[in-house]
Structure 1
């Protein structure tokens, strides 16, 4: 059959062989074929030499009877070559079709065209294309499966790593918060603040690890929000004080007081970069050296720099130090601490924020790293960072110091000059002044004894915090790094100036509250009650909606200062409700109300997706008091509240539940937790019954929805195993995994519930 079909073509094979080059040139020059090659960056000459020519020879071999139809090794090589070029099936079809057309055109030019030749060429190409398409499908499918398996493995690792590290950290931070509320010793308060800030910094690092793959894949997004650069940078510096102290390094700083109190940028990423600069500066500085941090703002550009007096970086290393896995060398010594990823990540973060990182360094003299990024400054938000009026008429005396230590006071003198304080250099502690300031490291014992004996009001500038002045009421210690609020606090304390101000709140036990009305969209009853209690403790009024449609109705008929929107709800989910609210605001020209997403999905780019869906901010479940408080601080007006009376001791109805842990984690009183647990228990009984029915009916949509509700509620009460098992059930239902043992997982879930509520 085949020999008969190809007889006429067989007789003309020599003529076609002679026309090989023009046929191939016409093929690759055809407009569509040429476009495909360019689009996928396929080298034209390589394609002609290694693939096109061999494909032509294969077809002639079939015509000559030397090769079997459909068994073309070069086609397999071509598919393998094109596999990583993301070539689509329709593009492959066009390439094959135009090859056939070029051969047919040649038969017309050469005068060997007839019906038999046309049929033979068409049959030859059509049969071969069927084999090509099968090979293409198998190859691409294999590639996609490999990518899918790799993605699942990565997701499994990230999810488990996040859970396993975050769980003990939450316990640590909870108990630190409890201790911080109970201790009154200022030094212990500072230690606890450092522990708390370090723990939170570690949580941020975990999130950065989860984000690293997004930076590499291009999925990373910047989250610009209003924040106070003065507070954020000062808090970041405090985290590195213990490390600097361990090497007797003096950490000085100057945060330009003219920088607006509120600027809009990604505060978390900025702190991450500055933190990396500080970590490296301490690591590569000599013992008893100095590090200086400076923040400036000029025409929309925020500059944050860290200067050290360390080993410095050679010119050669400066060219590659921002490359991934690259580390600097110092002579023959390779500094191999760490992964070499820190500065590479910082560089990518800076570029993502529209900025860059500059480096100046000299070997043996030190380095200067500067982050420069565009920010939006809100100059209308005027909050005093240093109240000069407190010190009107106060004469300050700065005791003469060793000139070699002048660098310690350079930034402090810049603050004094900016605020116009009356600072006079004095040579003797008995010279007349209202308040004495002295540098502890330049102080002699006799002068110190005179200050203590005569009870001279003084501020002692210390390199490191210690106990030497704890029992001396007339001397207030001031340690590096020094910034506006820290300086003002020390001066006010030593002068006995007690001005009313809102305290920095550390949780629900504090006296800080907020003014405003909040719309809460949440379908879970236990979660509703928890949010109600939190809002009431902050003196906020609220309206509760049980689904997105109800939330939209309330929003359209009433005024709110903030919306807390659960993402998964019946009738209308949070994303749909948010889109409708934004459309309503646009249509009615109503001022925008901040909308905060509430979701139990804390991985898989949930934050980025929430912001893309129109939310202003993101809150993960379980609800963390400090996080929701930060949201309130960002969007609502703070007010002062009276101290709360302690609640009477309550005997818990739940002997199998660690109430102390819950009190710490939720920052609620035991009677409130008892109340919430009763609602949770009742709701869970219904949810578990509904879940069992959904599994029996194999209704994947119902299973996923109910499991998600259980996951969120359980997470709020820190029932980690209940939350984890329900999350597994939810994922399996969403993927419609037919082989998943839903009934077995349900029994595990119910068993975990009954352990606590037997």
Structure 2
């Protein structure tokens, strides 16, 4: 809501704007008066009128300069009313005095009175009293002139009265229009002030959002590094164990461990994609996937949890088995299924949970895939079925079960990235059916899968240097290279890596990023600088790190890295790097 200061400033500006017209009018009257009735009367008119306008100018300028001074509006209103009354009263008395002294100038005086009445009535007025002060004195003078003429008839007197009333009515309407104009100006001023405040607040919010986004990015990077580091050890050691002969029962346990670790890694990758989801950027990693086998693996890993809760898990595949082998993002599909299954386990007190996949050929030769997870929980009210797929939105039952409100939002982003749709409907006789569907290209699985324990086929075993500060990760690398039949030199930080490479040539360097003394990027920069300065052959350097956000990878490549291997280590990717390593080190 606008304050009195806005009204004061608006009226002060309008009073200021009227000065040129009023002063020109007074100057014209003075000139004509000097010519018609003499310089004495003209001087009298000029002194009083210009003097009062000088007072009004000071009042207006004071109001414009100090609009927020205590009592400023009241002083401005009273001052302008007083000056207006002084101007109109002087006009009326001047005309009556000239008429009394020189009655033969009556026609001139009538015109002067009519003009001053109109000009005074139509000028700016801050209040009704100001308007009355401008029109009452000249109106009284006009009636006196009309009533004191011997030849004046009743008709003339009435005509004069009608003329005066007409001027007053027209000027009253003008005053109301001026008032509305001022109110509009004040409203616009207030609106402009609100917009400026909103803009300033938006700028503040934007800066806060940028700070929060940077903090979130740092948090996600920290989570990624801290989770991937131990997960790297777990998955790496399971791969080492899978490469050794074991009793069948132990081999099955190790396979389940590897499956569970792989699922955990894919879920971590999906959860860390929340920042990309918010910006509308979701990457897909398309590869041939046997969805039937994936569903069996999920059921196998989660079976113990299902049994622990006293529930039953039913798996249904509807369609020809070969139709379940498609080109898709295994992690995204798995993420949605596991989120759906996890929610079903939380919300189902007793009974059976059913996971059903239908695979049917589409008209364009691709495969239509339809996934459903049936639970026997409380269900989802119809008016909440859209909301629960938004970030941080969840039902009371989900909140009571300990959910964070992100799982279904991640599912929604993943399914939309796959070009599909998802939702929930009521199940019969109770519960809910969470579903998603999409269409994928047919695919075939290669039977020549890379064995994680197989030796690396290279003409000569490359010399490999690995910089890794984490003791468990160093042990894992040693075991992996032992299973490959290759030698490995291990150092604990970037400085040691620079010194080792300065002393002995290597074919390949695996460089961690976050290390004490000297981090991986600093070491990489130092190595590339020494190569340029000494002419030493370029060494292949792969960053082996848990920090694999897009901006991180770009930073490594800009510093001179030849590639990036992510933790947990992907055995096939590591073997490919070892096979491609240029062998120029001295034997």
Structure with more helix by fraction: 2
Normalising by structure 1, what TM-score? Answer: 0.38
**Normalized against structure 2, the TM-score is what?**
0.47
Greater relative contact order structure (CA < 8 Å, 6+ sep): 2
* Larger Rg over CA atoms: 2
